[in-house]
Amino acid sequence: MITISWLIERLLVKPTEGSLTDVVITADWRCNGTDGTYSGTCYGSASFAPPTENFTPYPDLTEQQVLGWCYANGVNKTAIEANVSAQIENQINPPVIAPPLPWLPPVPPAPEPEIVAPADPVIDAPAA
């Protein structure tokens, strides 16, 4: 089962826009996916027009709100999640592989390292 998560990594703001302060104009987003063993990711940016109504002050913004803006401004959530899922599926079942060339002899496996026990120490005893 693939788990998908979205996050906002950075916001770019205009310090002032008309009478408003700290107006978000760009959000950098990332979509991550994992199935526990394999993972995939997509990232990008979404730009926004200055707000005309319903302005939310910067300190009151939530990640979900900004992600909603991204989806409403050209970020195709369904397509991005499908891309991340395909990255993971392609790791599990690679669509292209590079097997050994059929005309070359197979490469023998490396020999197992031999474990050698240390020899008994030699003790020189004085002759009696």
pLDDT at position 108: 83
Residue numbers in the chain where pLDDT is lower than 50: none
pLDDT at 7: 98
| 28 vs 104: CA distance, rounded Å | 49
What is the pLDDT at residue 114? 81
**What's the confidence (pLDDT) of residue 125?**
62
pLDDT of residue 128: 60
Beta strands (DSSP E) in 35-91 are: 39-47
**Contact indicator for 33, 4 with CB cutoff of 8 Å:** yes
What pLDDT score was predicted for residue 110? 84
For residue range 63-95, list pLDDT tens digits in order.
999 999 999 999 999 999 999 999 999 999 999
- What pLDDT score does 24 carry? 97
